[in-house]
Amino acid sequence: MSSIPSPTPAAQQDLLLEMGHSLAPGVEPSATPQAVARVQLEGSAALELDYAVPADLIEKVRVGSRVKVPLQRQLVPGVVLELMARSSHGHRLKEISSLQGRGDPVFTSVLIKLAHWVADYYLCPVNHVLRAMLPQAVREKPESFITDSHLKLVHEPKPEELEKLRAKAPMQARIIDELLSAGGETTLSQLRRGLPRATTLLAPLLNKGWITRAEVRVERDPFENEEFLATQPLKLTEEQQAVHECVLAALQQPTEARPLLLHGVTGSGKTEIFLQAIAHVIERGQTALVLVPEISLTPQTIERFKARFSDGKATIAVLHSHLSDGERHDEWFKVHERRAQIVIGARSAIFAPLENLGIIIVDEEHEPSYKQEESPRYHARDLAVVRAKMEGCVVLLASATPCLESFNNAITGKYELLRMTRRTDGKSLPLIRVVDLRLERRKGSDSPDTRVLSEKLRSAIQKRLDKGEQTILFLNRRGFNTSLSCQSCGHVCQCQDCAIPMTWHKSEDYLICHICGSRRVPPKKCPACQDPGIRFAGYGTERVEQVLRQTFPTARLARVDTDTMQRKNQLRDTLRDFRSQKLDMLIGTQMIAKGLDFPNVTLVGVLNADLALNLPDFRAAERTFQLLTQVAGRAGRGEVKGEVVVQTFAPHSPAVQFARHGDYEGFAQQELDQRKALHYPPNDHVVLITSRSKHEGRAEFVLANLAKRLGDALASDMRMSDPIPSPLAKAHGQFRFQLLLRSPRIRALARLVQQTAKAMTFPEDVIVTWDVDAMSLM
């Protein structure tokens, strides 16, 4: 959407008047403090209008309530942003016509404040943000609960009464029997499982007054059939204790405390830190919000939280996209009705309507998936910091590989850095062996299969199969692998000015730099070693599975990626089978890179580390380092020491070498230096502008035009690339072009983009979007 944040309410109201939106007949609002409500309309146009609150609703309308209001002869939904004594622009106002649902606010006042912050920072209409804050099921069908009848035996028949009943109406007697054996209480749905006609049979018993019936709400609980055995807090290790004390100190003085950044190696026991911090918060009568990337919101993770608090001290709501609409609706209401004190969820759970927050935790804070890739393009980790400040609570970011933005904030003192450098089991991190694919190739055994699986990795797997140990193999095939690299020396064609791999645009047969836009004809031979084998041939997990099945015909293996894990609970079932050693091997994408803890896994293989390394993105090295480190953490969590085999054409790249030595800070330091020299984040912020259209020329023209105007207005500390085709040059039938802007002053840059765009009219068939702090440059 190329929509611009809305003008001020007063200006809008005047605008509407001009457009003939009649405000009369209305009422002159009286002077009660809540007489006027400023309402954000939920529709596609971002409008904020003032309405009078009718007397019968004064008691019920609150900031955050959803209402229906008249707009040009229609009733439209909206959210109350503010209540005031009188409207600032003197017109006679129309009245709010009704409340949606019971009218209790669905947005807390902090969430409304946060919505405005998001709209302002990410340059998007505030109604988009409010919409994103509610799960669809709640937005569209508020309070659509499932109910059941609770049945209670209130008159226990004497033996002779029961015998009489048994003779006369045996089925009714059976109901009594069922109730007796259930301890006197059950539900209608339970009863109907054995007695399909229970509803009819029940009537005479209800009339006689033997049984009572009450309607109760039934929660669709995604964990209905699970038992959680309560776990006790573990005795903390020395490192954990030190971190725990820092967290407690922050909790004592939350408004003084800086955001906490916990850099803890995989297996250092970060989750235990979370659990004990949360327990502390709950004890003080406060609530806790835990964000986890969707991908690692595994049953295992949830179990750990559910189990710790299964003693009834706190209720947990889980919010993520694999729930059914009904489950999500019910989980959200658990929070809304204050029945849940802890929320665990993915990105959008940052908007969970918790009140009285004590702590917000962001696990795996470096995960790019915290950034939403459609409007509102917010970053949930950054919002965690912003929301915590608004709530006056503690925020704890944690990762084994903090993103450079966060680490830089720690270096500069904006965040407080906490470290855990050792695994709780005292084991050293697994040994990482790097297989140089260039050498493998030179050895001559260049069949398609050895290209997937080097001899070293093949024999390592065989050893595990022989010993009954388990293996996990990763292939991180995200997006498209179009970078051009030499099959024999590993040379990758890079842009000389920007030091990122250039992308091969197959259709045009050009190499293009996605930062500065420079182009080059792809070389026919490798510029470094003159080998003609310079095209990159990609392969995916499916292909790997085939090779594995051929190479190890008797091995039991499963492939885990978004293609194979379509069915609900399929991931959970597959992981369970793997855990119980019904499987020898998993081959998968990032889906299995995180948060999993399998004691019997002693080998982890990374089939192609270069896929991440060669993405046309200045974060490519960081992503590779993160991936290798995360993956390595999956090996050797049990008694036997783990081994990691990394296959790469670039064995000497800093990302691979620092990961091999487990040296996060070394990597971060040199990467930060390079980023600074090249004006990339975290020193500079980026805004990515994308235009798209069915008509290639128009998309390009509009962006060129915008670039020209921006170029005229750029401040000296702002940089702009040329408009170029996006790496994803065509999607959904639309051509895409992009423009990358950078500046250390994000607010100034964002304002400039906003003002320049607002002053232009874009043709209807060209859509222009902007992504502030873009994480993906596709």
* Footprint of ligand ADP (CB under 6 A): 234-237, 240, 264, 266-272, 424, 597
Residue closer to ligand ADP, measured from CB, 212 or 424: 424
Residue closer to ligand ADP, measured from CB, 266 or 626: 266
The one of Zn ion, ligand ADP, none whose footprint includes residue 685, by CB under 5 to 8 A per kind, is none
Binding mask 436-475 for Zn ion (x = CB under 5 A): ----------------------------------------
In 3D space, the residue among 18, 35, 131 whose CA is nearest the CA of residue 79 turns out to be: 131
Residue closer to Zn ion, measured from CB, 250 or 729: 729
In 3D space, the residue among 104, 35, 28, 40 whose CA is nearest the CA of residue 69 turns out to be: 40
The one of Zn ion, ligand ADP, none whose footprint includes residue 237, by CB under 5 to 8 A per kind, is ligand ADP
The one of Zn ion, ligand ADP, none whose footprint includes residue 17, by CB under 5 to 8 A per kind, is none
The one of Zn ion, ligand ADP, none whose footprint includes residue 497, by CB under 5 to 8 A per kind, is Zn ion
The one of Zn ion, ligand ADP, none whose footprint includes residue 132, by CB under 5 to 8 A per kind, is none
Bridge partner list, 743: 685
What letter does residue 77 receive in the DSSP assignment? E
Q: What 3-state DSSP class applies to 734?
A: strand
Residue closer to ligand ADP, measured from CB, 266 or 286: 266
Q: Least distance (Å) from ligand ADP to the CB of residue 241?
A: 9
In 3D space, the residue among 776, 64, 691 whose CA is nearest the CA of residue 370 turns out to be: 776
Q: Least distance (Å) from ligand ADP to the CB of residue 420?
A: 7
CB 383 within 8 A of CB 390: no
The one of Zn ion, ligand ADP, none whose footprint includes residue 725, by CB under 5 to 8 A per kind, is none
In 3D space, the residue among 334, 357, 330, 331 whose CA is nearest the CA of residue 346 turns out to be: 331
Q: Least distance (Å) from ligand ADP to the CB of residue 625?
A: 17
Tell me: cis bond preceding 682? Omega within 30 of 0 counts: yes
The one of ligand ADP, Zn ion, none whose footprint includes residue 738, by CB under 5 to 8 A per kind, is none
**Which distant-in-sequence residues (6+ apart) come within 8 Å of 80 by Cβ?**
37, 38, 39, 61, 62, 63, 64, 65, 66, 67, 105
Amino acid making up residue 171: M
Residue 541's alpha-carbon distances to 437, 474, 481, 486, 564, in angstroms, are 18, 8, 14, 22, 10
The one of Zn ion, ligand ADP, none whose footprint includes residue 267, by CB under 5 to 8 A per kind, is ligand ADP
The one of Zn ion, ligand ADP, none whose footprint includes residue 110, by CB under 5 to 8 A per kind, is none
Residue closer to ligand ADP, measured from CB, 451 or 637: 637
Interaction of residue 724 with Zn ion, rule CB under 5 A:
no
Q: Least distance (Å) from Zn ion to the CB of residue 671?
A: 18
In 3D space, the residue among 711, 716, 726, 718 whose CA is nearest the CA of residue 685 turns out to be: 718
The one of Zn ion, ligand ADP, none whose footprint includes residue 597, by CB under 5 to 8 A per kind, is ligand ADP
Q: Least distance (Å) from ligand ADP to the CB of residue 305?
A: 11
Q: Least distance (Å) from ligand ADP to the CB of residue 296?
A: 10
Binding mask 483-522 for Zn ion (x = CB under 5 A): ------------x-xx--------------x-xx-x----
Q: Least distance (Å) from ligand ADP to the CB of residue 388?
A: 21
CA angle 76, 79, 85 (to 5 degrees): 110
Residue closer to Zn ion, measured from CB, 369 or 494: 494
**Which distant-in-sequence residues (6+ apart) come within 8 Å of 754 by Cβ?**
4, 5, 123
**H runs (alpha helix) in 593-663:** 610-613, 620-632, 654-660
Q: Least distance (Å) from Zn ion to the CB of residue 498?
A: 3
In 3D space, the residue among 680, 650, 465, 653 whose CA is nearest the CA of residue 552 turns out to be: 465
CB 416 within 8 A of CB 259: yes
In 3D space, the residue among 377, 322, 316 whose CA is nearest the CA of residue 352 turns out to be: 316
Residue closer to ligand ADP, measured from CB, 427 or 698: 427
Q: Least distance (Å) from ligand ADP to the CB of residue 261?
A: 14
Residue closer to Zn ion, measured from CB, 495 or 757: 495
The one of Zn ion, ligand ADP, none whose footprint includes residue 513, by CB under 5 to 8 A per kind, is Zn ion
Count of residues interacting with Zn ion (CB under 5 A) = 7
Q: Which two tokens stand for residue 730?
A: 């065509």
**H runs (alpha helix) in 295-351:** 299-308, 325-336
Amino acid making up residue 324: S
Q: Least distance (Å) from ligand ADP to the CB of residue 275?
A: 9
Q: Least distance (Å) from ligand ADP to the CB of residue 626?
A: 14
CB 714 within 8 A of CB 720: yes
Amino acid making up residue 107: F
- How many CB atoms within 10 Å of residue 227? 8
Residues that bind Zn ion (CB under 5 A): 495, 497-498, 513, 515-516, 518
